A = this chain, B = another copy of it.
Amino acid sequence: MNPEIQTWIEQLRAGDARALARAISVVENHSVGWSELLKAIFPYSGHARILGLTGQPGAGKSTLVDQLARYYRKEGLSIGIIAVDPTSPYTGGAILGDRIRMQEHSSDAGIYIRSMATRGSLGGLARTTADVSTILDASGRDLIMIETVGVGQDEVDIVRLADITVVILVPGMGDDVQTIKAGIMEIADIFVINKSDREGAERVEREIRALQSLAVRTDKWTPLIVKTVATEGTGIPELAGAIREYENHLQRENLALKRNIQNWQARLVEMLRDAMLEKARHQLGDGEMAQYAAEVAEHKRDPYTLIEEIVQGRRH
């Protein structure tokens, strides 16, 4: 292996925050050496517990994650936080939020926070998040928390790489809440009703219960529901307790590895897809693609036949 990369990894594993930050940036931006770095670092990963937390904007994710981080720090765990925020990089919103949150924990080297906002990155947000998580894992963090915004496929892909998935709801989030809940029923191991001092918390709980009666999980787990008021720290120990309970369930039923294998199966397919795309793009070149796009846009060529021909090697 490249001795420079080896030194880098050693620094990173020794707790050097700058070496860690640089590694994350290289992987996030697919800078030179990113692939070599990941290959070299992978054997050191696999020890961290990965917690995925998801919920709508305004659900109070950041606050909840910060509170959980404080709780686990008191238990002596070292923590990495990845805040996935599919906003445009040019406004700098994510970076700003990052700095504000980092300041609060700046005296504590046991918490490392990184925001990700790489919409449209080569490998996609889910893929990049997974790679960054691998690096944090290899750096020796005990617990990695990944928080995501939104309710789209991205989010599902991102939380799929977690060992434990927490879905955060709040009372009174509008008429489509029912719909959202339906969409995330399958991925939630634990539900948090945050801002539970608001009116409607009981109704949210009833709705979750009602939807649960429709869903059948193959792993014999009925997702727990925890009520919190994250801004006041209320319910945080209970949430940590629910997480522990699910961990015990995974262990008891021998499900952790099984879930991990399933996750990797999905991730490998995604990685394969990305790699194939890169290969295809390389073969075709941007100019040729632009030419084809113009022909299709002007309806001189049907795109479905075109792609078939390219894949079969009959074109270019």
The digit string for A257-296, where 1 denotes a CB below 8 A from any CB of B, is 1001111110111011111110111001000011011101
Interfacial chain B residues near A260, Cβ < 8 Å: 297
CB distance from A110 to the nearest CB of B (A): 25
In contact, A264 and B154 (Cβ under 8 angstroms): no
In contact, A87 and B153 (Cβ under 8 angstroms): no
Interfacial chain B residues near A120, Cβ < 8 Å: 153, 156
Nearest-neighbor residue (CB-CB) of A174 within chain B: B58
Given A56-B57, A174-B58, do A264 and B303 touch, yes or no (CB 8 Å)? yes
CB distance from A130 to the nearest CB of B (A): 10
In the complex, A173 has a CB within 8 A of chain B: yes
The digit string for A143-170, where 1 denotes a CB below 8 A from any CB of B, is 0000001111111100000000000000
In contact, B268 and A277 (Cβ under 8 angstroms): no
Interfacial chain B residues near A156, Cβ < 8 Å: 86, 119-120
CB distance from A243 to the nearest CB of B (A): 21
Interfacial chain B residues near A215, Cβ < 8 Å: 90
In the complex, A33 has a CB within 8 A of chain B: no
In the complex, A219 has a CB within 8 A of chain B: no
Alpha-carbon separation in the docked complex, A42 to B151 (Å): 31
- Tell which of B85, B87, B152, B284 touches A155, judged by Cβ atoms closer than 8 Å: B152
What is the interface of chain A mostly: helix, strand, loop, or mixed? helix
Alpha-carbon separation in the docked complex, A178 to B178 (Å): 24
Q: What number of copies of this chain does the assembly contain? A: 2
In the complex, A302 has a CB within 8 A of chain B: yes
Alpha-carbon separation in the docked complex, A66 to B14 (Å): 59
Interfacial chain B residues near A214, Cβ < 8 Å: 90-91
Interfacial chain B residues near A45, Cβ < 8 Å: 299
In contact, A269 and B281 (Cβ under 8 angstroms): yes
CB distance from A277 to the nearest CB of B (A): 4
Alpha-carbon separation in the docked complex, A305 to B38 (Å): 9
Given A176-B57, A264-B296, do A311 and B275 touch, yes or no (CB 8 Å)? yes
In the complex, A17 has a CB within 8 A of chain B: no
In contact, A183 and B311 (Cβ under 8 angstroms): no
In the complex, A76 has a CB within 8 A of chain B: no
- Tell which of B86, B268, B302 touches A153, judged by Cβ atoms closer than 8 Å: B86
Alpha-carbon separation in the docked complex, A93 to B305 (Å): 35
In the complex, A104 has a CB within 8 A of chain B: no
In the complex, A211 has a CB within 8 A of chain B: yes
In the complex, A179 has a CB within 8 A of chain B: yes
Alpha-carbon separation in the docked complex, A280 to B280 (Å): 12
Alpha-carbon separation in the docked complex, A88 to B214 (Å): 12
Alpha-carbon separation in the docked complex, A116 to B68 (Å): 36
Given A275-B308, A276-B273, A303-B42, do A58 and B176 touch, yes or no (CB 8 Å)? yes
Given A119-B156, A173-B58, do A290 and B306 touch, yes or no (CB 8 Å)? no
In the complex, A136 has a CB within 8 A of chain B: no
